[in-house]
Structure 1
Amino acid sequence: MTTNTKPTILMVPGLRDHVSDHWQTLLQYKLPNAVSVPPLEHDKLSCAARVAALDAELAKIDGPVILVAHSAGVMITVHWAQQHNREIHGALLATPADLDTPLPAGYPTIDALAENGWHPTPRKRLPFPSIVGASRNDPLAQFDRVSAMATDWGSRLVDLGEVGHLNPAAGFGVWAMAETLIDELV
């Protein structure tokens, strides 16, 4: 187990796991106290397997933790929070994918997501401080739906403007604002 007085930053990637030029990956390499939930080898679409992977990584950390989740990683985080009781220092929840509505072509269908345990999206208040970063033009979630999720979760909503899905396809490698938002949670 790792023991820290400074919070460990635990990256929770989405369904596409680790992408080398993604802001989460770049931030993990930059921050000395950052680690990531490793990619799954099996059951990659299973919500339960993803939640178990997050829980297993948390079990390796002794001390305060800040979760930094993106896309479906946000949904993994909120599903985990409904099932587990570990204290979390805070969470940055960036551009959550709305898995309750049909996603664009190339993403899992709503039926496949339902069959793999993603529905319904938990809407219970999170037991830790959180910040939700929402995009005005995210192809995977409408701003008003993300805003409603943030309200239900008791999260502070940050309007990120038009940043797409805050991923390399939207022009984001480095996302400097992430560090500022994480600092607010420390």
Structure 2
Amino acid sequence: MRTSDVDILIVPGWSSSGPDHWQSRWERTLKTARRVEQDDWFAPEREAWVGRIIDATVASNRPVVLVAHSLGVAAVAHVAERIPKGFLSGAFLVAPADVENASAWPDTEGLSLDGTASGFAPLPKKAFPFPSVMIASSNDAYCSLDRANALAEAWGSTLVEAGDVGHVNSASGHGPWPDGVLRFGAFLRTLEA
């Protein structure tokens, strides 16, 4: 598959993705990409987030590939438990947020997500009914590489260790993220039409 063959649903994490974040850039440059909007990006509610992702998937006319970051990855894990097989063609998961250990997260923009993230815990541990790849960093403050590996194994995701690249967001220098574009293209080529 190519980007023109699929509907790319961008699933940001907490606080959405700012204008310089790679997800926002992909949304602007990939013609078939659109963001799954949420009512409240700063006080996420699991059921609302999951419902919005499912609604956007069902409303799509082409095969759907989710592109999730951080807390968006946790939301996709909950979607995978509920959505019937065949509705999603795949998921590209970047820098998962370990919501079960949110008390160890640093404050972001002066705010703590500990209580907010608890609504997403515990994370499902069943294999996804669609192919997925997870990009994880060895020095991500929101999820250790060991934990990312355990999640990828439980979900049946292919884990790609990206090295010491932080949380793969604007703050870690991943605005354009050309390596991510290449990895995403390679992932799409593995999917069946």
TM (norm. structure 1) is 0.90
Structure-1 residue corresponding to 2:61? 62
Q: Which amino acid in 1 is paired with 2:170?
A: P
| Rounded Cα–Cα distance in structure 1 between residues aligned with 2:21 and 2:38 | 14
1:113 to 109, 113, 117: 117
Q: Is residue 44 from structure 1 mapped to residue 33 from structure 2 by the alignment?
A: no
Structure-2 residue corresponding to 1:16? 15
Report the number of matched residues: 180
Q: Structure 1 stretches (4+) deviating beyond 2 angstroms?
A: 41-44, 111-114
Structure-1 residue corresponding to 2:187? 185
Q: State the superposition RMSD in angstroms.
A: 1.8
Q: Which amino acid in 1 is paired with 2:164?
A: E
Bigger mean CA deviation after superposition, 16-25 or 176-185? 176-185
User: Structure 2 stretches of 5 or more lacking a match?
Assistant: 189-193
TM (norm. structure 2) is 0.87
Q: Kindly indicate whether the alpha-carbon contact (under 8 Å) linking 1:9 and 1:66 is maintained by their aligned counterparts in 2.
A: yes
| Rounded Cα–Cα distance in structure 1 between residues aligned with 2:36 and 2:121 | 22
Tell me how far 1:131 sits from its aligned partner.
0.4
Structure-1 residue corresponding to 2:95? 95
Q: Kindly indicate whether the alpha-carbon contact (under 8 Å) linking 1:81 and 1:126 is maintained by their aligned counterparts in 2.
A: yes
Structure-2 residue corresponding to 1:53? 52
The structure carrying a bigger helix percent of its residues is: 2
Structure-2 residue corresponding to 1:77? 76
Structure-1 residue corresponding to 2:191? none
Q: Which amino acid in 1 is paired with 2:113?
A: P
Structure-2 residue corresponding to 1:28? 27
Tell me how far 1:43 sits from its aligned partner.
8.4
Percent pairwise identity: 34
Q: Which amino acid in 2 is paired with 1:124?
A: K
Q: Kindly indicate whether the alpha-carbon contact (under 8 Å) linking 2:57 and 2:87 is maintained by their aligned counterparts in 1.
A: no
Bigger mean CA deviation after superposition, 30-39 or 65-74? 30-39
| Rounded Cα–Cα distance in structure 2 between residues aligned with 1:160 and 1:71 | 15
Q: Kindly indicate whether the alpha-carbon contact (under 8 Å) linking 2:152 and 2:158 is maintained by their aligned counterparts in 1.
A: yes
Q: Kindly indicate whether the alpha-carbon contact (under 8 Å) linking 1:131 and 1:181 is maintained by their aligned counterparts in 2.
A: no
